[in-house]
Structure 1
């Protein structure tokens, strides 16, 4: 018999070892199996729960030592058998069981091995920073790679922890996630799941310093990418949130080494089959480093260097970069027959007029909210009817930044050493220089330096040296950077159209900039003000186009025009797209064409068709307040008309500005679309504009590019260059950028690092670790923001119709009657017709001079 019910239960639940069934009664074994396997109506958990919830199981208020007994509940250390009350004893027992299980699950997480059979995300718990003998001896880890870091996703970590450590995940969720009615409350800020992943990752790092693959390794490298302060890195490392800074640097060195090794292997595989798989872009980089603590040999210095990037080419026909074919075409010297008229006739002027009309229409569609939906049709025309040579959709460019050096690439020897350094890092074999072209892009100064180096080194060819072609850069093919060309052209247009700093002339951009509170550039040669100048000029251009729409549609004010379309939108009675397109064509013919410039300067407008004649205003009367006779800026010579002038120079200036800047806007639209054919059409026109603006360097560089594509390249080589002149790091539509702009983004980051390190561009850490990883750093920061659910900060501006600048400019253009022909109007500013002047310059000797230089170089070859 049994003395009590507990004695009976204890005996009843006695363990029955395997192969010992004959020692226990059959009915005992059967009933116990049914009970513990949950086949009875009353489940075991229900009995335990009744015991736990029973009021006798917890010390009551009348208990003599109730506080002491109650404090024993959920104890992680007390033996549950020594606790009197059932609830306190069961809670301590459950706490210790759960704790032991959580400890075991954490051990599994710190030693987790990849198993594709589990169906979940594959995450390596241990990422080794280097492949030394100590890490090779450890099991269950892998060498850190760029792919491991860039594939970081919070959702993958959540799934991984839920599969491999569900209890740990649940416990941390109970601590992090608030609940209401036993349901987890979704939070927009500090999402509990992100906090849980961060906490578990830190727990793993606390358990095992090598368990860094969940977040700690990524976080350590992210700190370097964000240039976090050293104290922040140290504190995060001690908290287990990231690896130590030394470990992160070692990992970056490993990633850089592996990246360059893959580049070298791929390069050698290609050259074995006489195929060039990569191209390069380079740029000078510089930083003025200040010394804060003086001393002997410690002075403020301008640190200069050179940085380059290897770019994997796509859509290249085999044999496209055959040096022999290219040199045979060069030596034929067919470019000698190029004439100014040939160059002019090679431009598709119907295409240019068509895309200008689309940009005129786009200005209205963007400004009027009710017409925004029609932008899609304009984009379809850009990508369809007016497309010339678009990149293959979905292409994603592979980039391998190279280590920096301290060479002065503007000097001949410096450029030579810099190029050879980049080629050596990329695995280019010297013996391939006799068969394959190496294509290198850069800004105008870099391309000029490469051309000088080629001309100088060509005289040092050694016939018996098999590597002579490599040493003298014989196979080098330089191409100009599109972004620097675009920036230089914008500066030239600005210099031509800003006019006097103080003026009442509404066609002078100085007046518009002052009206809209934009800053007038102090130096029109400075490319660093690219974006601020672009915003100023594009705002003025759009506002002038909108004023032309006001005239075309017959409204008195721009407010009336806006209200009209808003009401039509509410009434679902918007105009047809084709009708608006026809009006855009008329606006282009009237106010955005070279022919209109000549008509505005002439008093004879009666011969023009009615649909393109200017609106007529009162003859202009000179006022003393106008700048037509008083020069308030002695540094700027005011233009004076002849006494019998009867045209409208203000109107002519505005038309010329809209025509010139519409080309700039077209190129700015074509580049992100990846239509290099449209880009090249604009660059051919810019050859004349640079000639007219007196920029002989860019004039000759564009002539050089024209000769390359027209006379010195096979169709395969031209298409290979066109297919790879732009880069797309995301693979998304509308995200193409110029290669030299990409390099400028890298430069800015490297220059900032140099400022903090007080070193130079030959510094081992900067050259071997940071520079090869610069593209990876920029992508990692974006991936982190995306993984954490942070919205990408918008770089767009307020809707045009809400911006005060547009309101001010539209009012000023209307009051000044900018787009109305006023006989005899001239206010001291006369923009130069750069394309006409450029045509004359090329025809009168500039083209001949260029071709002579080409001929001299060919004779040297």
Structure 2
């Protein structure tokens, strides 16, 4: 190096490097030798034995490249995005500042590229418009499928699209262990890193850019009736689109779907078929006035909502009116009896499903099942799938609500016609077609008019399945829950307290998961210890064993015959051995004598049981108050069984619940 500096006249190492890497200027003569050009090209292209990856760490980590602590001006210039590089004399701060600007410019360019429309015209959900005036033929408007997303899916999409920008955001939010980024279970950083992407993209192009999640959040704020100030703040922060944009998007998607629905309804009507039905229900909202004045009063706004659903797997001509009218005239329903309805039910299928539910409950108490016997789990899922109906997604299309009061007959009819107009039903072409409407039990009243369509002759109304199931669920809850502090073991309140489940505050609005949790057997220490012992002996029950136990449980505790055996000792004694109830310990109600349970060794003469119940099978019978007697305290009263009763009321009530809900 000394010889090069002295003999060739370089004043410093910097002059030598500047001459070494000096590029050829376009239009000027290249004075470099062939050897000079080849050496520089080999080094810059990484074809030499020492590459740039070896030189940069040597320069950056050199002791002389870093300023002293007292040189605060040079030390503060490290990673500086604004200070001129010619003013930074030390190598390490200069390299870091140069790299900072290179990365910043690259990030800006890549985020801008993400915010621009694809040149190939491909559909990109970031650039979907809420509406269009039709001037641009290539405008892509939002659809319902575009607002369906998962944050994990969007985060992985951004990561695959631009790894540099993702790396920068991951440096801020990602946790590291041994120098590697780890994803935590709570607050995973991909969800956090996703937010800066759509926010900065929206900020770069706010006029023609709705982002991946800004438009869905705007629709969510509209659906939840968020305050206008919340919408404005989130819009200013870049989280959401404005309220007007969300409304335009909803109108666009609704008009598009209604136009598609009308076309489909008119096409099938021309073929003389029916492929769509309606589900309607009354809606209401109480608008409270907080600042009263003249003409300003709180009022209850009522209306009717309706949803059209597609009828799949229907035979051609299934909804022809002439065939329906012939069957109505035949009046075959006069021959329908309880026995005929009972015989029409596939009880084998119902029993198989009930037993599989019991087997699944039993499997839940085997803590080592998934570890020691995975084949049992797989076989169990396969067996359950054989008896389960294939999942099918029904196509739905919400219709516009109206202000008609469904309870009043005339307004219900007007709402019926309004929903048909939205669906594109043509009355003059529907004389021989049935219209299937479902609701909460209200039937359409037929009128006598010359017009077949307006007389509702072809309208068939049936209770909606969801309403029927909800009514049945609420009825079971009202019959079996009992008081909140009931000591009766057969009440659901007692079971919910034992399993640390909250008792519903309103039994008329019960979730199926709440009652389903009660259906699961209570797990005690003996049961867990039993399965632990089996696991230690590698004697985990097989699927056949679970199904066999489930069959016994259903026969003994979830059938009508089991209920009759529980309330009548003679029925219990005449039953087969596997259907008899085992003798249990006596349950003593508070302030009541001991009552033995029904069993093979039960005494013939049983004392009158005293139980606190709140079920229809055991109504409260309070004593008649006299003129001098005091009013009995509020709450459930003591129930006394009639003389000669030799059954087990607690067991019978439990069987009723398992039969009604478990089936």
TM-score band w.r.t. shorter chain: 0.7 to 0.9
Q: Deviations over 1:84-114 (max 9, x none)?
A: 4444444444433333333322321221416
Corresponding residue number in structure 1 for 2:627: none
Q: Superposition RMSD on alpha carbons, in Å?
A: 4.6
For residues 576 and 12 of structure 1, what CA distance do their matches in structure 2 show? 79
| Shift in CA distance, 333/204, structure 1 to aligned 2, threshold 3 Å | same
Aligned position for 1:125: 126
Q: Is this contact kept in 1: 2:201–2:211, CA < 8 A?
A: no
* Aligned pair partner of 1:485 in 468, 475, 488: 468
CA distance in structure 1 between the partners assigned to 2:458 and 2:431 by the alignment: 7
**In structure 1, distance between residues paired with 2:115 and 2:494:** 67
Give the drift of 1:597. Answer: 5.4
Which residue number corresponds to residue 109 of structure 1?
114
| CA drift at 1:318 | 3.0
User: Rg larger in 1 or in 2?
Assistant: 2
Task: Select the residue among 143, 146, 149 that pairs with 1:145.
Answer: 143
2:603 pairs with 1:620: no
2:404 counterpart residue number: 407
Structure 2 partner of 1:297: 295
Hey, what's the Cα distance between the residues in 2 that align with 1:498 and 1:98? 65
| 2:72 equivalent in structure 1 | 67
Gaps of 5+ in 1: 463-467, 548-557, 667-861
Q: Which one of the candidate residues 172, 197, 202 is aligned to 1:205?
A: 202
**CA distance in 1 between partners of 2:503 and 2:406 (Å):** 32
Partner of 2:440: 443
TM-score, length basis structure 1: 0.61
Task: Tell me the distance in 2 between the aligned counterparts of 1:398 and 1:366.
Answer: 35
| Equivalent residue runs for 1:9-408 within 5 Å | 9-17=17-25, 25-44=33-52, 46-47=54-55, 50-60=58-68, 66-113=71-118, 123-132=124-133, 142-160=140-158, 162-163=160-161, 165-179=162-176, 182-209=179-206, 210-347=208-345, 384=386, 387=387, 391=389, 393-408=390-405
Deviation readout 1:39-63 (Å, 9 max, x if unpaired): 333435655554444444444468x
Deviation at 1:500, TM superposition (A): 10
- Higher RCO (CA 8 Å, separation ≥ 6 residues): 1
Structure 2, unmatched stretches of 5+, are 1-7, 581-598, 613-619, 625-631
Q: Give the Cα–Cα distance (whole angstroms) in 1 for the partners of residues 557 and 87 of structure 2.
A: 97
Q: Is the 8 A contact 2:278 2:436 kept in 1?
A: yes
Partner Cα separation in structure 1 for residue 178 and residue 491 of structure 2: 68
The alignment partner of 2:118 has SS state of: coil
Deviation at 1:369, TM superposition (A): 5.6
Gap change, CA 1:59 and 1:646, over 3 Å in 2:
closer
1:530 is paired with a residue of what secondary structure? coil
How does 1:564-643 map onto structure 2 within 5 Å? 564=530, 566-573=532-539, 592-595=558-561, 604=570, 608-609=574-575, 611=577, 612=579, 614-618=599-603, 619-622=605-608, 630=623
Cα drift, residue 328 of structure 1 = 2.7
Q: How far apart in 2 are the matches of 1:502 and 1:68?
A: 75
8 Å contact 2:199–2:238 — kept in the other structure?
yes
Count of residues in Structure 1 that have an aligned counterpart in Structure 2: 616
Q: Does 1:529 align with 2:509?
A: yes
SS of the residue corresponding to residue 280 of structure 1 reads strand
User: What is the distance in 2 between the residues matched to 1:311 and 1:238?
Assistant: 39
TM-score (norm 2): 0.76
Partner of 1:655: 652
Corresponding residue SS for 2:291:
coil
Q: Distance in 1 between matches of 2:504 and 2:168?
A: 61
Higher-helix-fraction structure: 1
Q: Which whole-Å deviations, capped at 9, do the CAs of 1:350-382 have from their partners, x for residues lacking one?
A: 666666666666665556767898788777666
Matching residue of 1:469: 452
Structure 1 residue 321: deviation in Å?
2.3
Please give the alpha-carbon distance, in whole angstroms, between the structure 2 residues aligned to 1:86 and 1:537. Answer: 70
Structure 2 distance, partners of 1:166, 1:49, is: 24
Deviations 1:806-855 (A, max 9, x none): xxxxxxxxxxxxxxxxxxxxxxxxxxxxxxxxxxxxxxxxxxxxxxxxxx
Structure 2 distance, partners of 1:350, 1:35, is: 81
Summarize deviations over 1:354-412 as a string: whole Å, max 9, x none.
Answer: 6666666666555676789878877766654xx5xx64x35322222222222111222
Once residues 186 and 515 of structure 1 are traced to their aligned partners in structure 2, the CA distance between those partners, rounded to angstroms, is: 38
Mean Cα deviation higher: 70-79 or 288-297: 70-79
